Amino acid sequence: MRVVPAVDIRGGLCVNLVQGDYGQETVFGQDPVSQAMKWREQGAELVHIVDLDGARAGELRVKDAILQISAVRVPVEVGGGIRSMRDLDAAFEAGAARAILGTAAFRDPEFLRTATRTYPGLVAVGIDARAGKVSLSAWMEDTEADAIDFARQVEEAGACRIIYTDILSDGMMKGPNLDATRAVAKAVSIPVTVSGGVSSLDDIRRVCTAEPDGVDEVIIGRALYVGAFTLPEAIEVAREGP
């Protein structure tokens, strides 16, 4: 199980939202680049970058930050607002190791297919779900689309991975929705990353029990920033397993 610390960027700051609500924002740092470097120094193999401004605007806004982070050899995946080949190209040109499509993958399946053909093995799809239904546009637009059905579609389109976020768990520090994540992982053959709600080392142990089902990464944000545990502790627990 790989632990992936998150750096959410809004207005050039390192922040965290509760359930994706821009009105419930906590600023945890002035410099996202330094924060990404800190996670790397503490053992992160990959850092999860979320462009919150880009997610609302519908275009990538953190190219400069990706460039600075990649310049100091911190591998990153980036998502939020990537809705065109121009933005996708920009993310990889800036040094991203993996790009995440969300809203664009849902609205434009042909774009997803083009993206996965152009960058095979490097394009993941973020499925953000509220009560099992896909949510779009920085979680501001709910749909009636079933998350599991969408997971099957993006696998067929060539996505290398699914990053599944349960919106109602995100930022709540009450544990991840592991049942929903397992259901998605069992429905597809590509690996799945669980995101949202991890609050303790016991939560990480629980996540490890889903590894046989295809869940091999866990993204952690708020819990690290508030000091619930350290990144090295999380990595060690993930290495040990359940």
154 in any annotated domain: yes
Which residue of the set 51, 53, 87, 128 is catalytic? 128
163 in any annotated domain: yes
242 in any annotated domain: no
Rounded Cα–Cα distance for residues 222 and 171 (Å) = 6
| Tokens encoding 156 | 């067929």
CATH value at residue 198: 3.20.20.70
Q: How confident is the model at residue 21 (pLDDT cuts 50, 70, 90)?
A: low
pLDDT at residue 212 is higher than 90: yes
Percentage of the chain lying above the pLDDT 90 cut: 71
Count of domains for the chain: 1
**What is the chain's mean pLDDT, rounded?**
91
Whether 128 sits among the annotated catalytic residues: the reply is: yes
**Owning domain of residue 118:** 2-237
**Beta carbons within 8 Å of 224's beta carbon, 6+ residues apart:** 5, 230, 231, 234
What does the pLDDT average to over 49-64?
88
41 in any annotated domain: yes
pTM of the complete model: 0.92
pLDDT at residue 242 is higher than 90: no
Torsion of CA 222, 224, 226, 230, to 10 degrees: 160
- The helix/strand/coil state of 121 is coil
pLDDT at residue 145 is higher than 60: yes
Check residue 148 and give its pLDDT.
97
126 in any annotated domain: yes
What is the tens place of the pLDDT at every residue in 95-134?
Answer: 999 999 999 999 999 999 999 999 999 999 999 998 889 9
Whether 202 sits among the annotated catalytic residues: the reply is: no
